[in-house]
Amino acid sequence: MPDFGGILNEPILEPNTGQLDREFVFWRDTLGFRNETEWVYGKDPDTGKQTHQPAHPKPTYSLRCFVMARTVQQFHLHSEFLPEQARLSADEYRWRVQEVIRLDPRKRQSNDRRIKFPGYVGLRELSDSLPEVIKSVAGGAWQSYAQRGNWRMVLPFLRSSQIEESRRIAESVAQRGTAVIHVADFPRLRINHALLAYSSRATASGISIATYDPNAPATPLELTFSLTDARFRLPSTAYYIGGWVNAYEVYCSFWR
């Protein structure tokens, strides 16, 4: 059996263990609009391989999965919603969203310094009400392509490094509430995507990680880690045939 660096014997860190001052709630703390895909995906009935063709009509808001996952993380770390107070103008909310976006996703603001959003219960309600306000300032597609951690995708992923990543993700979720994860199967590139982990738990076979998927914001997506294989797996989705993926946390250090 491979060396799992103690992961078999150590409990997986659960989120919100007293280190956090606000629990992450999926229906409240995620974006309501989705990252549209540039392609329509399918499965070849003869070969079982993933297929794709251009989407028609061409999407108007796409290639922003990293931007959206990071935005949700920044709102969780840096904002406070005050539903009992009166709502403000769209321009005022735009300025406040900009203030959230410019803050470091690696650090949490103290309660007294968080950016206040009167009139809404959370980010989901705000994004449903003012989607264009958030889209206009959250960031462009180039920020997904230029994300500084992309370099890691092209290097080999050892089983030992994926074990370490599973621990890193669990620890980040426990300490900061969320972790942005880059999932890919380079060089095949059937998937090259960002998810936001917000919960992790130990299972009989490894780790189950609950994530927000910018492509499908209606329900959580489960990313799993197998101790036997020392690999991550994603289920089949509308844009991915399903299978083993490489995964690592981004927006977490100078290099990533």
Do 239 and 210 share a structural domain?
A: yes
Select from 256, 248, 196 the least CA-distant residue to 225. 248
Do 194 and 91 share a structural domain?
A: no
Q: Residue 102 and residue 254: Cα distance in Å, rounded?
A: 16
Do 169 and 120 share a structural domain?
A: no
Q: Residue 181 and residue 70: Cα distance in Å, rounded?
A: 10
Do 156 and 125 share a structural domain?
A: no
Question: What's residue 126's pLDDT?
Answer: 98
159 found inside a domain: yes
For residues 179 and 1, which has the higher predicted lDDT (pLDDT)?
A: 179
| Structural domain that includes position 243 | 148-250
15 found inside a domain: no
Q: In this predicted model, what pLDDT tens digit does every residue of 9-58 receive, in sequence order?
A: 343 433 433 335 679 999 999 999 999 998 777 777 777 778 778 888 88
Do 197 and 173 share a structural domain?
A: yes
Q: In this predicted model, what pLDDT tens digit does every residue of 122-140 receive, in sequence order?
A: 999 999 999 999 999 999 9
Res 113 pLDDT > 90: no
Q: In this predicted model, what pLDDT tens digit does every residue of 177-205 receive, in sequence order?
A: 999 999 998 877 789 999 999 999 999 99
- Total of domains in the chain: 2
Q: Residue 51 and residue 113: Cα distance in Å, rounded?
A: 48
Domain end call among 103, 121, 144: 144
Do 79 and 61 share a structural domain?
A: yes
Question: What's residue 21's pLDDT?
Answer: 64
Q: Residue 77 and residue 64: Cα distance in Å, rounded?
A: 20
Q: In this predicted model, what pLDDT tens digit does every residue of 58-106 receive, in sequence order?
A: 889 999 999 999 999 999 999 999 999 999 999 999 999 999 999 988 8
| % pLDDT > 90, the chain | 64
Taking only Cα atoms into account, the Rg of the chain, rounded to an integer number of angstroms, comes to 18
Do 120 and 201 share a structural domain?
A: no
Please report which confidence band the pLDDT of residue 111 belongs to, taking 50, 70 and 90 as the band edges.
Answer: confident
Select from 73, 70, 250 the least CA-distant residue to 168. 250
14 found inside a domain: no
Question: What's residue 207's pLDDT?
Answer: 95
CA dihedral 234, 243, 232, 61 (to 10 degrees): -40
Q: In this predicted model, what pLDDT tens digit does every residue of 148-174 receive, in sequence order?
A: 777 777 788 889 999 999 999 999 999
Res 256 pLDDT > 50: yes
Do 37 and 138 share a structural domain?
A: yes
Domain end call among 115, 144, 173: 144
Domain end call among 144, 163, 186: 144
140 found inside a domain: yes
128 found inside a domain: yes
